Amino acid sequence: MKPRPSARSGPPFRRVLVANRGEIAVRIIRACRELGVETVAVYSDADATALHVRLADAAVRIGPPPPTESYLRIEAIVEAALRTGAEAIHPGYGFLSERAAFARAVEAAGLVFVGPPVAAIEALGDKLAARRLARSVGVEPVPGTLEPAPVDAAGDLDALLAAAEEVGFPLLVKAAAGGGGRGMRRVGEPKDLPAALAAGSAEARSAFGDGSVYLEREIRPARHVEVQLLGDRFGEVVALGERDCSIQRRHQKLVEEAPAPGLHPDERRTLHERAVALGRAAGLANAATVEFLRDEAGRFWFLEVNTRLQVEHPVTELVSGVDIVHEQLWLAAGAPLSAAVREAAERALDPDRHAIEVRISAEDPGRDFVPTPGRVGVWRMPAGPGVRVDTAMEAGERVPPEYDNLIAKCIVVGPNRATAIARLRRALGEAEISGIQTTLPFHRAVAADPAFAAAELSTDWVAERYDPRGDWLRAARVAAVAAGLAAIGPRLAAAAPVASAGSPIGGDPGSPTAPSTSVSGARTRRDPHPWRRAGREAALDRWPDRWSG
């Protein structure tokens, strides 16, 4: 191990460019400001007035809305950093965050890439390379192929089918580059394999610029558990803890929590040790996440490594007490792992807190999570003890169709899982969004589900436990009651124009300035049509697509 420099002093950088948008750009800008680091934002025409642009010390336009013409333009982003005097570039997650070519271009320009070194990205970011590396250090990957599958299988069909039979059906065709379920196809029987290879490769090439795909056994049911790593340039790698990310749809995470519930201390230690061994073998410096699948027999299989900051990093922060973005910046500046990080890694084996994150997205869970871009009306996020919200959204802003649908992350923490779930229910009940359909109804259903409370988790949870028709029917019943009450409300008010304290009706129902009384008895400004408003909130604001037109 190389000798260590002296302790940290002063800001890690003078100025950092944030090569991203939305909530993660805001998150990084705030972390930089806390460390005394100036920031540069980049933006497309769709984000000209976005919060991350307004928070940064400087901002540079990099193109029109399509990502290929803006946030994926390596040359434009590097040029923006050089032009504004930035010393480093933080890629956030998504976009260019796991592209070795981007990290290489940043370093070639004399700038610092806030993430793992190019060699580690190449060794771990490519899923096939990562699978081979894992096996070399005794970490067993999910059964599957270790080399790219021939997409044009006309001349290799027999060999390919033999390899598929060895993997076992059903299996998955997966992209070697990138993630998020893109390029992935499920294959139930041999005859469907050639078409799945072609389709998966085409999607992977479009999304990641690399059409390489491979075969992997489908493990079902399974739990998805991942380990957060931090490493420095002096050879030290530690695990800050693990997260359970089993509740997913189309292989994209919806709910994440830390620590993973139900793990025996020996299981947790073994899992952390495997992840650390893989990180060390790859020469990891900075942040990365090692993902595993846990099968019905309790065996952990290595899945992949994300060589970047994860969307769900806040749950680990709230349990460990470590600001991961702060650490990323210090590690990129050449500092060693701090004593606080090493102590947090030791505590991770016996955590004393529990955190849960839900991803609030502009999607309709009642229609298989179809995207629902549009303009936000009411935007009211929860607060209070143990509640954190990461977002860049504000009332009146538009959710553009060109980018990811994530608009906020609601994270709660408590001394144990039961408290965290109760806090999550309370927080989701406070959240209010109108104008677009969001995943709030789904998250409320999860938080109230007894199977979730019992930690009965798997990657099939959504298909097995969530029935969106129940939410729709509840909204319909509330709307029907509200409509009836709206019709008789004026008659009730006329019959009893003066109400006692605590009554839901008081004053002139036609006067918008007359006082009214809330459920708690507090005097508030009079709403002339309270039941009509309640019906609209229950039906229109929560399920706009069902009640428009």
Catalytic residues: 308
> For the purposes of burial, counting CB atoms within 10 Å of the CB of 383, is it exposed (0-12), middle (13-18) or buried (19 or more)?
exposed
368: left (phi over 0), alpha (psi -120 to 50) or beta: left
Kindly report the backbone phi and psi dihedral angles of residue 541, in degrees, each rounded to the nearest multiple of 5, phi listed first: -65, -30
Report the alpha-carbon distance of residue 288 to residue 122 in Å, rounded: 13
3-class SS of residue 501: coil
Instruction: DSSP for 6-17, please give it.
Output: ----S-S-SEEE
Contacts of 344 (CB under 8 A, 6+ apart): 240, 241, 320, 321, 322
Are the C-beta atoms of 139 and 278 separated by less than 8 Å? yes
Which helix or strand (DSSP H or E) is residue 370 part of?
strand 370-371
Report the alpha-carbon distance of residue 296 to residue 182 in Å, rounded: 26
> For the purposes of burial, counting CB atoms within 10 Å of the CB of 460, is it exposed (0-12), middle (13-18) or buried (19 or more)?
middle
Crossing angle of the two packed helices 127-136 and 118-125, in degrees rounded to 10: 90
Are the C-beta atoms of 272 and 349 separated by less than 8 Å? yes
Residue in the block written with tokens 């030290």: 236
3-class SS of residue 519: coil
Residue type, 515: P
> For the purposes of burial, counting CB atoms within 10 Å of the CB of 33, is it exposed (0-12), middle (13-18) or buried (19 or more)?
middle
